[in-house]
């Protein structure tokens, strides 16, 4: 059973770059059947999709964040990562990584990591 685990600093200063890693266990990021994604949730608010990556390195980002987001994959470590630059307090959120399963053109998020809270503050 595949499991995902986020890791990274819980506190980032304004204007700096937020960096998180998602480690995949029980499965491989190199599997062609899946995409790997980041989603965030500000405190008390709803879910916001950030972007996703395929094992080949192909990416797709939320247009509202595209200028600041980079998602990469490291198949040797079975990990994928998120970088969000020039952060502000509005980027304070719980950040989730999730696997995207695709079957006959239909895609959904399952499973999700437990999430990690990142606070942007000086």
Partner 1 sequence: SYVLTQPPSVSVAPGQTARITCGGNNIGSKSVHWYQQKPGQAPVLVVYDDSDRPSGIPERFSGSNSGNTATLTISRVEAGDEADYYCQVWDSSSDHPEVVFGGGTKLTVL
Residues in contact with partner 1, shown as a per-residue x/- string from 91 to 110 under the rule CB under 8 A: -----x------x--xxxxx
Closer residue to partner 1 in complex, CB, 10/46: 46
How far is it between the farthest Cα atoms of the chain? 47
DSSP-derived secondary structure for 49-70 = EEEEE-TTS-EEE-TTTTTTEE
d(CA 77, CA 80): 9
DSSP 23: E
**Contact status: 77 vs partner 1 (CB under 8 A):** no
**Contact status: 62 vs partner 1 (CB under 8 A):** yes
Omega before 111 within 30 of 0, i.e. cis: yes
The nearest distance, CB 77 to partner 1, in angstroms, is 22
**Contact status: 57 vs partner 1 (CB under 8 A):** no
Q: Using the rule CB under 8 A, give the single segment among 15-23, 25-33, 46-54, 79-87 that binds partner 1.
A: 46-54
């Amino acid at each position: 059973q595949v499991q995902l685990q986020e890791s990274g600093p819980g506190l980032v200063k304004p204007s700096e770059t937020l960096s998180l890693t998602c480690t995949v266990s029980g499965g491989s990021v190199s599997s062609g059947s899946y995409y790997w994604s980041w989603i965030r949730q500000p405190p008390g608010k709803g879910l916001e999709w950030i972007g996703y990556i395929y094992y080949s390195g192909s990416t797709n980002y939320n247009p509202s964040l595209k200028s600041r987001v980079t998602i990469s994959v490291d198949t040797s470590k079975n990990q994928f990562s998120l970088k969000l630059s020039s952060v502000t307090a509005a980027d304070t959120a719980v950040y989730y990584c999730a696997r995207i399963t695709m079957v006959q053109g239909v895609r959904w998020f399952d499973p999700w990591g437990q999430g990690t809270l990142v606070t942007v503050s000086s």
